[in-house]
Structure 1
Amino acid sequence: MNQEVAAPVRNFTVLLSPTPRGARLARLLATEQLRAWDLPLDTAPQIVAELATNAATHGRVPGRDFRLTLYVVGGTLRIEVTDTRGDRHPHLAPTDPDAESGRGLLLVDALADRWGVTPGPHPRKTVWAELNRCRPE
Structure 2
Amino acid sequence: MPEPATIVIKAHPQAIKQVRDFAALVFGDWGLEDHIARTVVTELATNAIKHGSAEGDPVVVRVYRREDGCPVLEAWDRSDALPVARPFDLTRESGRGLLLMGALVRRWGTRPLAERGKVVFAELEPTRAPD
TM-score by length of 1: 0.84
Give the counterpart letter for 2:104 in structure 1.
Answer: L
| CA distance 1:10–1:37, shift in 2 (3 Å) | farther
| Map of 1:56 onto structure 2 | 49
| Map of 1:99 onto structure 2 | 92
Aligned-pair distance for 1:61? Answer: 2.2
CA RMSD of aligned residues (A): 1.8
State the secondary structure of the residue aligned to 2:11: coil
Count of equivalent residues: 129
State the secondary structure of the residue aligned to 1:116: strand
Structure with greater helix share of residues: 2
Percent identity for Structure 1 against Structure 2: 34
State the secondary structure of the residue aligned to 2:83: coil
| Map of 1:66 onto structure 2 | 59
Aligned-pair distance for 1:36? Answer: 2.1
Q: What are the ranges of 5 or more consecutive residues in structure 2 without an aligned counterpart?
A: none
Pair 1:109 & 2:102 matched: yes
State the secondary structure of the residue aligned to 2:61: strand
Q: Deviations over 1:79-128 (max 9, x none)?
A: 11000012x10021114312221111111111010110001223210000
State the secondary structure of the residue aligned to 1:117: strand
Give the counterpart letter for 1:83 in structure 2.
Answer: D
TM-score by length of 2: 0.88
Q: What are the ranges of 5 or more consecutive residues in structure 1 without an aligned counterpart?
A: 1-7
Q: Deviations over 1:17-61 (max 9, x none)?
A: 111111221111111221122111231110000011101100112
| Bigger Rg, structure 1 or 2 | 1
**8 Å Cα contact 1:67-1:81 kept in structure 2:** yes
| Map of 1:120 onto structure 2 | 113
Give the Cα–Cα distance (whole angstroms) in 2 for the partners of residues 62 and 122 of structure 1. Answer: 19
